[in-house]
Structures are given as structure tokens and as C-alpha cells.
Amino acid sequence: MQHSGYKKLVSYQVSKLLYEYTVRFADLYISRFSRTRDQKIQSARSTMQNLAEGSMNAQVSSQSERFLTGIARGSANELKLDFENFLIEHGLPAWERGMPLNAAFFKQRCTTMQELRQWSANVAIPHLLGKNHKHGQAVETRRINKEVAGNVGYMLCLASVGLISKQMHAQRRQFLQHGGVRERDAKERRRIRNGRNGPNGRNGQNGQNGPNGPNGQNGPEQQE
């Protein structure tokens, strides 16, 4: 992993977008007096912050890096459940894998709030409007907006959880192959120590502190 370069991690970039989106979503659809609002925002912040802190701690402790990454995934999963509950409470369908808008969303790979807004306005909403007209259903603009908003948050969570899971697998592979930070440091210390204390002398150089003199230099010859 690229340690302390958390801003380059795709998982962090998606979690940052998820946080920005969640704050905006809460402003539009959740009462300021609702505990759910604070919980959503806190889960989104926790996902982003723990990914950053885990990456920054990686040079000190592999265990800390993996622990914090796991907390980030847990927070993203918690937020995913919150978005699912929002859809259930309003009688709206979740766009699961295999559904057209789910596939279209992940194909688009939005990276900014502006791109999310454009995708919602140009792809998701027209798709739902056309679907309603096809089935002769009355158009409820607010209901459609809620369906789009809730599902965009839900799918951002899916993307975040998936990316963090891959990151955790990579961290585990690295740990199994190379050990943790302490283990790697111990190996490096042994390597340096063995280089200094080679078979020919204390400092790995011929004659130093050897049998012929205290400093590896020939001592005075024994007089007969």
C-alpha cells in the first residue's frame, strides 16, 4: 500500500464523495431535529476519517492500519443500511445489481458532486419518468427525486464497501507475505547487526578485534 498517500486511494476518494453527498442528502430529506441525520453524517465522516488515519498510521503499525480500515468499512456498511431504511420507509425500491440504473451508475463512475447531479438529471430521472409513462402511472416528481437521491447514496455506499474490502484483502496479503511493521523492522535490525558482526570481526571487517590484537591489528610478537 502507498502509506500516508491516502488522498490517492480510490477508496478514500469515493468515501470523501460519499461524505459530501450524505451532508447534502441530509439537508434535503432529513429533519434537522432527527437523530438519524447526525448518525448518517457521522457514519460518512467515520468512513472517510478512518481510511485517512489508517493510511497515515501504516508506517508505524500494520495492525493499526488494518484495524482502522475495518472500522471504515463498518461505518460504510452502517450508512448503507441507513439509505436502505430511507427507501423502505418511503416505499421506494432499491436499485440492486442487475437493474438498469444500478448498472448505469457504476458504469458512469462519478467522482464529483457535479457529476452525480448531472447523472441524476440526465439519466436516472428521465429513465424513471419514461418508465412511469409506459405503465400509465401518474408522475410524482418528488417521489422520483427521493428514489433517485436515496439510491445514489445507497450505491455510493456499495462502491465504498467494495473498495474498502479490496483494500483490506490487499493489506492482509501484504501482512502474510512480508509481516507487520515491527516484524519487518526486526528483520532489518538483524540484517544490519549481522552485517556489522560478520564472521571475521565485530564490525564485519577482516582483522578488527581479531585474535592478533585488541583492534584487529597484529600485536607485539612474543619475545623468546
Query: How many angstroms separate the Cα of 163 from the Cα of each of 9, 75, 106, 204?
Result: 10, 13, 13, 48
pTM of the model: 0.76
The model's pLDDT over 16-38, given as tens digits with 9 standing for 90+, comes to: 999 999 999 999 999 998 889 99
C-alpha angle 11/97/51, rounded to 5°?
15
Residue 147 has pLDDT above 50, yes or no: yes
What is d(CA 52, CA 63) in angstroms, rounded to the nearest whole number? 15
pLDDT value, residue 179: 65
Residue 2 has pLDDT above 50, yes or no: no
The model's pLDDT over 155-204, given as tens digits with 9 standing for 90+, comes to: 999 999 999 999 999 988 887 777 655 565 556 566 777 877 655 545 44
Give the amino acid at 56. Answer: M
pLDDT value, residue 202: 52
**Which grid cell sits at 134?**
409506459
All structural domains of the chain with their residue ranges: 6-185
Query: How many angstroms separate the Cα of 119 from the Cα of each of 60, 76, 98, 212?
Result: 41, 22, 18, 82
The model's pLDDT over 77-120, given as tens digits with 9 standing for 90+, comes to: 999 999 999 999 999 999 999 999 999 999 999 999 999 999 99
CA proximity to 83, closest of 39, 126, 119 = 39
pLDDT value, residue 117: 97
pLDDT band of residue 221 (cuts 50, 70, 90) is: very low
Find the mean pLDDT for residues 138-143. 78
